Amino acid sequence: MRSLNLLVFFGILLASVPSYAGLSDPNELVENSKVDPALTRSTTTWSTVTETVKDWWDKGVTAVTGTKAKSKTSPTPTSVQQNAETVGGPANGTTPESTEISNSNDTSTSTTEVTEEQTLTSPEATPTPVVDLGVPPADTGTSFSELKEAQRQLKQQSVTRTSKPGRKHGANLKVSKTGVPIFPLEIKQTVKLKNGKTKVVMAPLKKIPRLDVGEEPTLSAEDFILKDYKFPLRNVGDVKSLPSPELVMDGAVKALTSRQVVPAKPSVDMEKKSFGVAKVVTKESITKAMPKVGDLLVIAEKPVKNYTENQLKMLTASILYSQGDRCHVLLGLLEDIAKDSKDAKIQSEATFHLGACAHKLKMNSLAFERLSTVIRSENPDFAGEAIELLAQGLPAEHELPFSKLIRDFKAQKLISQKIRDEVNFLTAKGAFKESNYQAAKSFAEKVSEASPRFGQAQYLIGISWYSLGNLGKAVAKLEGLRGWLASQKNPDKNLNSLSAINLARMKFTQGRFKDALPLYMAIDKDHPFWVQGLVEQGWTQLALEDYSGAIGNMYSLHSPYFKAVYKPESFVVRTIGYLNICQYGDAYRTLSWLEHDYRPWSSAIDTYVSTKKLAS
């Protein structure tokens, strides 16, 4: 009895499933106002429910009757054709066992559903025909089973092919977990500590050997191409037409179409010269303009030459020197290369860069020592640049040795034109310090007027003529210099004062006191020679019998403002002035002042000269 109740329950449930499965959405209406049957939208979920219920039905029948229940549907469904015959009734008067609604766009599932009458009556009952209105099923995407099937097929196929095998790495390399060759840049070293214990530390590797990382296999051009596998594609559903554009009023169309188009002007033959085309381009002119391609030069391979240790050091030093701010690091390295290298070329290069770095760091003595060595070697690669470096801000103590270097330098063509005036002036100045006045005059005359050293060079020529005993040419040269300074917008005050005091002395020597007096007065008051010039002006005033003027100028120097200035000669000039105007008491007091201030100096000098060798 319990089995019979269970069988009746399953029968009722099976009969009700198609009714629920066939419910349609009341919103889905077609043009002929017929409801779309749910059979045209069968889903996998309802198919699964139907199959499950049928399994339960079979089990229940088996439990009651002991025989397997027969299927209520035909194993071979037929498709309903979309024509007038199908709507009116079955074709050819046949009665199909089951009706199936098929859709070519749905490739994943196909479900056969039965009506309530077919389930509760015999399997030979005729079903109600259904019209396929062409509504495509919803696209459910790619199922998980399809992806698993694609993965299985991909594993079975070979997606790459090796056209050239690789080569294994060297024996001195290890391999990481991913198969990449690696080489350690640090090694373990045992270091002894101060307390006597030892410690293992990692130290950088000093020398890296030649490494062979091998080669990877080369893949063919057919990589990742699957020949057999074809992934199923889903068909696109019905295409909906786009909305029609908005209508345009006739008035707007006429307004646009009734406009008159202004005709283009006829072509005019323009002058070719105005466009940069002087002649007509022809095939012959193009042929002449085409470059001629000659035979390629045969490149001869040369053997590779390994660098020595000093060459590698010099390469490192050159790279650091090119960065411009590494001279403080390079001094020691360049000094070692210059001492240890047996190659003269590398030694000369290291010496030059050492001098250049010292010059950049304002280490003038070291710079002059190293760069003068390069200049004496007359190295064509570095001698000219060494002269250029020394000529920039040369200290006064190095002017004389620099002048000797240039005068002995035979390869004058290595001196660049942009620094030639500066080099000639410094050479002339050093020669004058050496009392070689002829060489000083000769090199000073080579300084061009465009050089900023032109005025100083003219002054040097003037005093060189005076030192050579030619007073007339010396005076003429300095007078010309005074006129040139007057024509300058910003004359050199120092040069103005030097030329004035020296020209005044020369005129004083010639007895031209009236010409010398304004020159002494032209000395700038902030110049170091102003006090000496004022004293010499006093001597000139005495020679012109202007005793009061001489006394007044010296009286100004004897004010407390000039207390720290060394001026013993001014007391002599003042005393002579008083004597000439018969002021004997003032003359005596002036000499007493001189004796009081400067006699201790005389005693101290006598003591120093008597106790020190070469003191004089």
pLDDT digits (tens, 9 = 90+) for 233-246: 556 677 788 888 88
Beta pairing class for 99-100 and 174-175: unpaired
Cβ pair 502, 472 in contact under 8 A: no
- What lies within 8 Å, CB to CB, of 296 at 6+ separation is none
Confidence tier at 516 by pLDDT (50, 70, 90): very high
Strand partners, 174: 182
Distance CA 566, CA 532 (A): 10
Q: Which of 471, 476, 436 is nearest to 458 (CA)?
A: 476
Cα 365 → chain centroid = 37
Paired tokens of 533: 């010039």
> Alpha carbon 199 to chain centroid distance?
44
Burial of 606 from C-beta contacts in 10 A (0-12 / 13-18 / 19+): exposed
C-beta of residue 31 within 8 angstroms of C-beta of residue 131: no
CB 344 within 8 A of CB 378: no
C-alpha closest to that of 382 among 344, 409, 348: 348
Report the alpha-carbon distance of residue 164 to residue 145 in Å, rounded.
Answer: 38
pLDDT tens by residue, 554-574: 999 998 899 889 999 999 999
46 closest CA partner among 23, 73, 66, 76: 23
pLDDT band at 92 (very low <50, low <70, confident <90, very high): very low
Q: Is residue 616 scored above 90 in pLDDT?
A: no
CA gap 442, 452 in Å, rounded: 18
Task: Name the 3-class secondary structure at 211.
Answer: coil
Summarize pLDDT for 38-89 with one digit per residue, the tens. 444 444 444 554 555 556 555 554 554 454 444 444 444 333 333 333 333 4
In the structure, what pLDDT confidence band is assigned to residue 614 with cuts at 50, 70 and 90?
A: confident
Give mean pLDDT, residues 167-172: 84
- Looking at 72-81, 219-228, 386-395, 586-595, which range is the least confident one? 72-81
Q: Greater confidence, 266 or 454?
A: 454
Output phi, psi for 191, to 5 deg: -110, 135
d(CA 172, CA 156) in angstroms, rounded, equals: 38
Neighbours of 382 (CB within 10 A): 22
Per cent of the chain over pLDDT 70 is 72
Q: How confident is the model at residue 533 (pLDDT cuts 50, 70, 90)?
A: very high
Question: Is 60 exceeded by the pLDDT of residue 521?
Answer: yes
User: What is the per-residue pLDDT for 228?
Assistant: 58
**Residue 83 · residue 131 · CB < 8 Å:** no
Under a CB-based contact definition with an 8 Å cutoff, are residues 17 and 50 in contact?
yes
d(Cα 395, Cα 293) in Å, to the nearest integer? 58
Looking at residue 469, its pLDDT comes to 92
Contacts of 370 (CB under 8 A, 6+ apart): 351, 352, 354, 355, 358
Q: Partners of 204 in the beta sheet?
A: 186
- Is the per-residue pLDDT at 131 higher than 60? no
What does residue 455 show for φ and ψ, rounded to 5 degrees?
-60, -45
Question: How many DSSP H helices and E strands does the chain contain?
Answer: 23, 8
Which amino acid appears at position 165 of this protein? P
- So what's the pLDDT on residue 108? 38
Q: What is the chain's mean pLDDT, rounded?
A: 77
Helix or strand run (H / E) with residue 600: helix 584-611
Neighbours of 179 (CB within 10 A): 8
Report d(CA 245, CA 543) in Å as an integer: 118
Tell me the residue ranges of DSSP E strands in 106-197: 162-164, 174-175, 181-182, 186-192
CA dist., res. 504 & res. 535, Å (int): 13
Give pLDDT, residue 162. Answer: 76
pLDDT at residue 551 greater than cutoff 90: yes
Top mean-pLDDT range of 49-53, 211-215, 272-276:
211-215
- Average of per-residue pLDDT across 398-411: 92
Half-sphere exposure of 212 (CA within 13 A, CB side): 8
CA distances (Å), origin 481, targets 463, 488, 496: 12, 11, 9
Phi then psi dihedrals of residue 192, to 5 deg: -90, 125
Residue 175 φ/ψ, nearest 5 degrees: -125, 135
* Among the listed residues 44, 51, 88, the one whose alpha carbon sits nearest the alpha carbon of residue 73: 51
Reference 367, options 355, 385, 376; nearest CA is 355
Give the burial string for 451-468 (b: 16+ CB within 10 Å, else e): bebbbbbbbbbbbbbbbe
Burial class (CB in 10 A: 0-12, 13-18, 19+), 65: exposed
78-79/99-100 β-pairing: parallel
Distance CA 318, CA 330 (A): 9
Q: Mean pLDDT, to the nearest integer, of 523-549?
A: 94
Q: Any idea of the CA torsion for 439, 440, 445, 451, to the nearest 10 degrees?
A: 130
* Measured distance CA(198)–CA(196) in Å, rounded: 7
Bridge-based pairing of strands 99-100 and 162-164 is: unpaired
